[in-house]
Structure 1
Amino acid sequence: MEQIAADRNAVATATERRAKFFRGLADQSRLAILDALCAGPLVVHEIVGRTALTQPNVSNHLRCLSECGLVTSMRDGRFVRYRISSPRIADLLHDVEALLDAVATGVEACRNYEPDEDEFHR
C-alpha cells in the first residue's frame, strides 16, 4: 500500500514538473526569443531586432528563461550574450513543429488557448 502511494506521488511530482516546464514555454514572446536563439547566441538588441518585441519585454522574458535554466548568458565586453542552455531545447522546438504538422488541424481549431495579440507586442 505504501509503495502505491509513493508511486502516485512520484507520478504527480513528475506531472507537476512537466506542467511547470510547459507553462514556461506557453508564451509567444518566450517562444519567439527561443526561436531567435536557435540560430546562435545573441545580445538583447539583436533579439529585439529578430523578434519585434520591445527591449523591456525581451529582458523580462530572458530573466524568466534564465531563471528556469532554458537560457544561459555570458558577458561579451559591455554586452551580455544569451544562448539556449542545451541543444535539446532547439530539438524540442523542432520536434514540436513536426508534431504540429501531424496534428495541426486539431491545434488550429482549438480556441481554449487563444493568444492575446497585445501581450506579444509589449
Structure 2
Amino acid sequence: MATPERDTIYTNDGNRTVYTRESNGTGWFVGIIVALALLAIGYLVFSANSGPSTSVDVNGAPAVESPATAPAPMTEAPAATPEVAPMTEAPAPAVDAAPAATPEATPAPAATPEATPAPAATPSN
C-alpha cells in the first residue's frame, strides 16, 4: 500500500498534472480481440465447401440404380403437347457430304425464284 506522505500522487500540487490510469490501451486490446474474432467467424461461415464433394467412397457399396419399391402410379393427367407452328420459310437444301472439294467442282446452284417464303399467317381471335 502506498504511503500518502511519500507518494507524489496524493499531493495537491496545482502546478503539475495528476497521473491517472485512464488510457486507451485496454480499448485497443479489446477492439483487436473483437476484430480477430469477427474475422475468424467470417472465415468459418464463408469458407464452407460449396463445390462437389471430393471424398472417396471407401465402403465399396454400389450406387443405387433403381428404387427399392415400385414407383407410385401417376395421379395427374399427362400434360397436353402444344401445337407446333408451321415453318414460314423453306428449309435449306441438303448438302451431300463429300470427302474434299476439288478445284473442278461446280458451285452450288443458286436458289430458284419459285422458292419464295410463305406469307405470315394472321392470328385469328
Whether these two folds match at TM > 0.5 is no
Larger strand percent: 1
Higher relative contact order (CA 8 A, sep 6+): 1
TM-score (norm 1): 0.22
Q: TM-score, normalised by structure 2?
A: 0.22
Bigger Cα Rg: 2
